[in-house]
Structure 1
Amino acid sequence: MNSLELKVPPVAQVIIIAIVMYGVSKTMPSLQFSFNGSTLIAVGLIVLGLCIGMMGIAQFRKAQTTPNPQALDRVSSLVTSGIYQYSRNPMYLGLVLALFGWGFYLSHVLPFVLVPVFMLYMTRFQIQPEERMMARKFGNDYQAYLMRVRRWI
């Protein structure tokens, strides 16, 4: 299973999950839902997710380090300010919020089951390997950051 670590870019993972969410939303019509405001909630969550993700990217750019999770060897500084005071992974949190928004847009119960699957996959195959690298690179400073700030929210 370690062969999957850091192999699939997070954006590709989101696209794959979003397609699967769409596919499962076409099954079992009895699990569809509809309520006033579901589209507004969908758009709101997607916009919020994109904003949180962009704030994370902006903090990386401000620190002059790479936001590319496939280029961990180019990480030059530990970013702990801005949005990173509240979440160690705001870019991934933004993707999760966008997936929840997509689930509301699809108006079906089953797609929501896939969001935790995405989170578990991301944690195991993307975040944990990143954290190991950061611990090696930034030592005690990173360990102190881990104690102060939660992984997701």
Structure 2
Amino acid sequence: MSHWKSIFLSTLITILGIACFPANPLVLTGVIEVESYTALFIIGWVVWTFGMVLVMAPIVLFPRRGGVSKGKSFIHTTQLVDTGIYAIVRHPQYTGGIYALFLTTFLWYPHWLFAVLGVLGIAVIYMGCREEDQRLIEKFGNDYEAYMKRVPGMNVFVGFVRVLRQRRNEKGGT
């Protein structure tokens, strides 16, 4: 990815992330007034919790399974990790960000502005995932390309069903 494109995408996702942060500054300061619905608020907490688990996954898994040298950041993996949550989705951190920021904010504060900002945020994160896939192909080569064919990028539900079917087939079921 070019340096300027990287800066642009990072800046854009930062601005969208602040505008869609669940403890929303636009709502808390009274700039936008929205009604809150208890059921959506509770669902929002569940979605936020799930999203944060996904966001934290690489911080826990990469040092253990990614060949990260002691004392180095989790981003310095030397081995492709395709187990745990990485057997379900290739980009759990990006996916968790979508859930924890954009989806949760809309559930907590159902307003058209958060729907629009959420769609923009998802598009920017998706572009980031595409760039990340290219970077990881350069780093891990054919192994990553094969991994891309086996595991969806961000669709947790498709990935989960795929893993369940695979386990059932391994046990001899059809």
Q: Hey, what's the Cα distance between the residues in 2 that align with 1:6 and 1:77?
A: 24
Q: Which 5+ residue runs of structure 1 have no aligned equivalent?
A: 69-73
SS at match of 1:7: helix
**1:135–1:86: structure 2 CA closer, same or farther, 3 Å change rule?**
same
1:3-22 per-position Cα deviation (integer Å, ceiling 9, x unaligned)? 44443796x76652243234
**Bigger radius of gyration:** 2
Q: TM-score, normalised by structure 2?
A: 0.68
Q: Say if 2:147 is the partner of 1:145.
A: yes
Pick aligned residue for 1:115 from 115, 118, 122: 118
- In the alignment, which of 105, 112, 133 is matched to residue 108 of structure 2? 105
Counterpart for residue 170 of structure 2: none
Judged with a 3 Å threshold, the aligned counterparts in structure 2 of structure 1 residues 42 and 53 are, in CA distance, closer, same or farther, namely same
* 1:127 maps to which of 126, 129, 132: 129
- What is the CA distance between 1:145 and its match in structure 2? 0.3
1:13 and 1:43 mapped to 2: Cα distance?
A: 25
Aligned residues with identical type, % of pairs = 24
Aligned-residue CA RMSD (Å): 2.8
In 2, the alpha carbon distance for the partners of 1:6 and 1:79 equals 24
CA distance in 1, matches of 2:85, 2:6: 23
After superposition, the Cα gap between the structure-2 partners of 1:134 and 1:15, relative to the gap in structure 1 and judged at 3 Å, is closer
TM-score, normalised with respect to structure 1: 0.76
Alpha-carbon contact 2:17-2:121 (below 8 Å) kept: no
Superposed CA offset, 1:14-68 (max 9, x none): 65224323477645x5xx4443322212211111111122223222121233543
User: C-alpha deviations, 1:48-106, integer Å up to 9, x for none?
Assistant: 111122223222121233543xxxxx331111110011111001111111121122222
Q: 2:137, 2:144 within 8 Å by CA — same for their partners in 1? A: yes
Q: 140-149 or 113-122: which moved more? A: 113-122
AA at the equivalent of 1:134: L
Contact 1:83-1:90 within 8 A present in 2 as well: yes
Q: Deviations over 1:113-148 (max 9, x none)?
A: 222211221232x32332222112211111100101
The 2-side partners of 1:89 and 1:112 are apart by 22
Higher relative contact order (CA 8 A, sep 6+): 1
Conserved? CA contact 2:36–2:108, under 8 Å: no
1:95 matched residue in structure 2: 97
How far apart, CA to CA, are the structure 2 residues paired with 1:52 and 1:127?
15
Q: Which amino acid aligns with 1:101?
A: T
**Alignment coverage as a number of residue pairs:** 143
